[in-house]
Amino acid sequence: MPTFEELKPMLRPDGIHNGVMTVDKDKCTSCGLCVQNCPFRCWEMDVNNHPKLKDEYLCFSCYNCMIACPVKAVSIVQNFQVKEGFFDTDFPEVKMPLEPKDAEGNSVQWTETERLIMERRTVRNFKKDPVPESFLSRVLEAGRFAPSGGNHQPWKFTVVTDPGFISQLEEAVQSVWAGTYGACTNDEVVMNLVNVLPTGVFDPRVQYGIRCIAKKELSVYFSAPAIVFIGCNDKMTNPEMHAGICGQNMNLAAISLGLGFVWNNFGGVGVNQIPELKAKLGFGDSWTVQTSFCLGYPKFKQKGLVPRHFRPVTWFRPGIDGA
Ligand SMILES: Cc1cc2nc3c(=O)[nH]c(=O)nc-3n(C[C@H](O)[C@H](O)[C@H](O)COP(=O)(O)O)c2cc1C
Ligand code: SF4
Ligand code: SF4
């Protein structure tokens, strides 16, 4: 069994370069939407009612603050990177989407589907209005018709639209993560988690997410009017991949219906820690909740183009010896 000192590079990683954003105060109208749209609550208002980054924060460069700003006052100074240590996974620069070209190499417009994919952003702020059941049904159908290995279709869905039950779920799953946060921050207790959790859980971005949920700065289910849980049968292959493909079908279908969508693994995975709740949701023995997502009408604009990692692609073309 390794010691804490040996595992310290993973459990208390260094080399982290925080994301840095800035606000053009001449353009800013102090509407506060960037502050509301930041999942990790990185911003606060300064004495002049303009957003400024808090003294202590973790920005993982999602750019959701930027796309919420109606006057384009938010811009990027520095992208989140880990440049040394355990979680240095070779962070590339970020770039906006490349210009679309037709088969002859001429500039063209994106197709409707491409635009939907590019402008899709996570929605974490919802109106209270319920999602019509006909729309929920169309979203579920998009999942049911997803591809799967061997056509296994290993998934099962549970929909929760009862506000009372959603509040119970929020409270119960928030407690799970509050407990996990306590364990993760204690040098001795965290050792109990090392053998049961995958390495990625100790990534600083995941750890900060757990912290935000524990401190109730990040909601588990975002007071959304509808939650969908995706579970897969344990006897079938690649459950995470299947839930992901199935869920992304539902994500795109939801946006096409004018709905907002947030994946919430914290909500999905957290439920597995509470067996009674997992069973109540319809995932008994042999079933594991792989993820969940929330749906609702967006409270304000939460979509738009952002840059993303531009990692070199290895490409073998005809007539060229090698990559
Ligand atoms: C599998 C998966 C799980 C996620 N879980 C959560 C979650 O629990 N809570 C949350 O606020 N966002 C969650 N997200 C949303 C990501 O934070 C988001 O997709 C990422 O920051 C990129 O931002 P974008 O979706 O706006 O492009 C999850 C996304 C994926 C794909
Ligand atoms: S880029 Fe994302 S994490 Fe960073 S401040 Fe903006 S909303 Fe918050
Ligand atoms: S969203 Fe834009 S206008 Fe509104 S407070 Fe933020 S920077 Fe200012």
Q: Which ligand is nearest to the CA of 46?
A: 3
What's the average model confidence in pLDDT over 154-179? 98
pLDDT at 280 over 90: yes
Measured from the CB, is residue 295 less than 6 Å from ligand 1? no
Distance 75 CA to ligand 3 centre (A): 11
DSSP string, 45-85: E-TTS-EEE-SS-------HHHHH-TT--EEEEE--EE-SS
Distance 219 CA to ligand 3 centre (A): 22
Phi, psi of 279 (to 5 degrees): -65, -40
Distance 28 CA to ligand 3 centre (A): 5
pLDDT of residue 226: 98
- Is it true that domain 122-296 has CATH number 3.40.50.300? no
pLDDT of residue 45: 98
Measured from the CB, is residue 219 less than 6 Å from ligand 1? no
pLDDT of residue 164: 98
pTM over 0.95? The answer is yes
Q: Which two structure tokens, joined as six digits, stand for 32?
A: 């506060």
Distance 122 CA to ligand 1 centre (A): 7
Give the CATH number of domain 4-91.
3.30.70.20
Q: Which ligand is nearest to the CA of 34?
A: 3
pLDDT at 244 over 90: yes
Distance 29 CA to ligand 3 centre (A): 6
pLDDT at 123 over 90: yes
Looking from the CA of residue 306, the nearest atom of ligand 1 is 27
Locate CATH 3.30.70.20 in the chain: 4-91
The CA distances from residue 294 to 107, 122, 253, 301, in Å, are 36, 10, 13, 17
Q: Which residues are paired to 82 by β-bridges?
A: 16
Q: Of 295, 298, 178, 296, whose CA–CA distance to 230 is shortest?
A: 295
Ligand 3 pocket, CB under 6 A: 23, 28-34, 51, 68-69, 71, 73-74
Mean pLDDT lowest for which of 21-25, 58-62, 196-200, 280-284? 196-200
* H or E, element range at 247: helix 239-256
Distance 48 CA to ligand 1 centre (A): 32
* Tens of pLDDT, residues 211-223: 999 999 999 999 9
* H or E, element range at 21: strand 20-23
Cβ 71 vs Cβ 27: under 8 Å = yes
pLDDT of residue 1: 81
pLDDT of residue 167: 98
pLDDT of residue 74: 98
DSSP string, 139-166: HHHHHHT---GGG---EEEEEE--HHHH
Report the chain's mean pLDDT, rounded to a whole number.
97
Locate CATH 3.40.109.10 in the chain: 122-296
pLDDT of residue 140: 98
- Angle between helix 163-185 and 204-214 (nearest 10): 120
The residue to mutate among 74, 75, 301, having the most atoms of ligand 3 within 8 angstroms of its beta carbon, is 74
Looking from the CA of residue 53, the nearest atom of ligand 2 is 5
Quick one: pLDDT band at residue 195, thresholds 50, 70, 90?
Answer: confident
Q: Which two structure tokens, joined as six digits, stand for 260?
A: 């907002």
